[in-house]
Amino acid sequence: MLKVLRVEKPMGDRERGSDQQMMQSLIKAIAESGDRDAFEALFARFGPRIKGMMISSGATDDMAEDLVQDVMMTIWRKAALYSPERGNVSTWIFTIARNARIDRLRRQPTQPYVDVDTITLECDAPTAETQVIGSQSDARVREAVELLPDEQKAVIELAFLRFKPQSTIAKELNVPIGTVKSRMRLAYQKLKEHLEELR
């Protein structure tokens, strides 16, 4: 499992860009030739993190493992639909994990999300802006999130890592829902501005 060790080696910020490029080439190999080694390398990188995310959001160990299987299987099936111009690999896998979790918890399927993805793929020619948001921007996203004040970071982590509903975030942080919303808006605004500076 040398391959895995290479993937899991701790990285500095400088290496993250090439890390994303490597993830993209793994997805490409899965899409084009069903490369099982590439899939295993991707699994080694993301499987544990997907599990960690699910457990952080309250899933049992068994359920988290099941969701890892679901998410990885979706990645295998949809690898050809991944488009680097529209976001980095981690973001794409996040959306798959989010959808898998919703599908597990709700009776109503995530068809609206799937439909929006379909429209994106069919209609949106990648623009200068999407390119920016895409692969090159990985380090910028990290920078922007790290620059956020702690109170905004906390809201982001509760919403996107632990999948807490807005009302629960308000309770946990002991602030009104309006405050949660304004922190969300500020965090979003900062990330957007940070990415736009590149244009």
Interface residues for other proteins in 70-99 (CB under 8 A)?
72-73, 76-81, 86-95, 97-99
Quick one: which of 129, 151, 176, 198 contacts other proteins (CB under 8 A)?
Answer: 129
Quick one: which of 31, 63, 154, 175 contacts other proteins (CB under 8 A)?
Answer: 31
Is 29 near other proteins (CB under 8 A)?
no
Is 104 near other proteins (CB under 8 A)?
no
Helices in the chain by DSSP H: which ranges?
A: 2-8, 13-33, 36-56, 61-78, 89-105, 111-123, 128-133, 138-147, 150-156, 166-173, 177-196
User: Is there a contact between 74 and 114 (Cβ–Cβ < 8 Å)?
Assistant: no
Quick one: which of 9, 14, 106, 199 contacts other proteins (CB under 8 A)?
Answer: 106
Interface residues for other proteins in 134-173 (CB under 8 A)?
137, 141-142, 145, 156-157, 159-161, 163-166
Pick between residue 102 and residue 174 the one whose CB is nearest to other proteins. 102
Which one-letter amino acid corresponds to residue 151? E
Minimum distance between the CB of residue 107 and other proteins, rounded to whole angstroms? 4
User: Is there a contact between 147 and 190 (Cβ–Cβ < 8 Å)?
Assistant: yes
Minimum distance between the CB of residue 122 and other proteins, rounded to whole angstroms? 6
Is 197 near other proteins (CB under 8 A)?
no
Task: Please count the CA atoms within 13 angstroms of the CA of 65 that sit on its side-chain side.
Answer: 3
Quick one: which of 14, 123, 150, 174 contacts other proteins (CB under 8 A)?
Answer: 123
Pick between residue 62 and residue 174 the one whose CB is nearest to other proteins. 62
Q: What tokens were used for 184?
A: 């969300």
Is 101 near other proteins (CB under 8 A)?
yes
Exposed / middle / buried, residue 79 (Cβ in 10 Å: 0-12, 13-18, 19+): buried
Is 179 near other proteins (CB under 8 A)?
no
Pick between residue 115 and residue 197 the one whose CB is nearest to other proteins. 115
Please give the C-alpha separations between residue 101 and each of 75, 77, 161, 167, 187, in angstroms, as whole numbers: 15, 17, 12, 19, 24
